[in-house]
Amino acid sequence: MKKLVSTIVVMICLMMAVPVQSQVQFGLKGGLDISKLDNNIGDNTTGFFVGPMIDVTLPIVGLGIDVAALYSQSGMDINNKSSEKLKSIEIPVNLKWTLGLGSTFGVFIAAGPQFGFSLNDGWKELMEETNKNFVSVNVGAGLKLLRHLQVGVNYNIGASKLGDMIVDTSHSSVRKNSWQISLAYMF
């Protein structure tokens, strides 16, 4: 019984010490967004994103959370007739697992939801009905280099629709899927 109590006390002490040892870094993230509407009504279009981020990592296990507030300008090409930009604030919240060699080099995988809030109305003229808020799912991987740089690639899958439109006399829901290539500098 004493061994069990001693083991539990040691485990509690270790669990309390890990958050104190967690690594919190603030940074700036930006990159390229290559998006496509999911129902084949247009071609791939490019845009960009930029904004602040925070990265919290537990050093013992390499698990962490990556949260950012990104201004995003995504292209939307509809039937090669009109090319509009969807301007939004997007907040990705990713669970990140890093495997590395100290703080000099690391490889990470990440996944989580992303919440988007539309800032413009220009692209709404192309649709029958639009949503001001949307949700997507991120899946990605990347490298941590020299303590301050992170290079990553994400695939962003539209989980909720941007709106509804009529394409060739049929009613269609529109979702945005995109590839994102990012570079972050951590302070």
* Span of 7-11, 17-21, 75-79, 136-140 with lowest mean pLDDT: 17-21
Longest dimension (CA), the chain: 76
Q: What is the mean pLDDT of residues 43-50?
A: 86
Residue 118 is predicted with a pLDDT of 87
Q: What is the mean pLDDT of residues 80-102?
A: 83
- Is pLDDT larger for residue 4 or for residue 51? 51
* Burial of 133: CB neighbours in 10 Å, binned 0-12, 13-18, 19+: exposed
* Number of domains within the chain: 1
Q: What is the pLDDT of residue 127?
A: 66
The pLDDT tens digits for 162-178 are 777 766 666 677 788 89
- Please determine, for residue 40, whether its predicted confidence score (pLDDT) is greater than 70: no
What's the pLDDT score for residue 179?
Answer: 94
How far apart CA 61 and CA 50 sit, in angstroms, is 29
Instruction: Say what the pTM is.
Output: 0.81
State the average pLDDT over residues 133-150.
93
pLDDT for 180: 95
Quick check: is 4 in a domain?
no
Question: Residue 46 is part of a domain; what is its CATH number?
Answer: 2.40.160.20
Q: What percent of the chain has pLDDT over 90?
A: 42
Mean pLDDT to the nearest integer, 130-158: 92
| 103 within some domain | yes
Per the domain annotation, does 7 fall within a domain? no
The reply to whether 2 falls in a domain is no
Q: Give the pLDDT of residue 61.
A: 82
Domain interval for residue 168? 23-186
**Residue 164: inside a domain, yes or no?**
yes
Q: Is there a domain that residue 69 lies in?
A: yes
The per-residue pLDDT for 114 is 95
User: Would you say residue 12 lies in a domain?
Assistant: no
Give a yes or no: residue 13 inside a domain. Answer: no
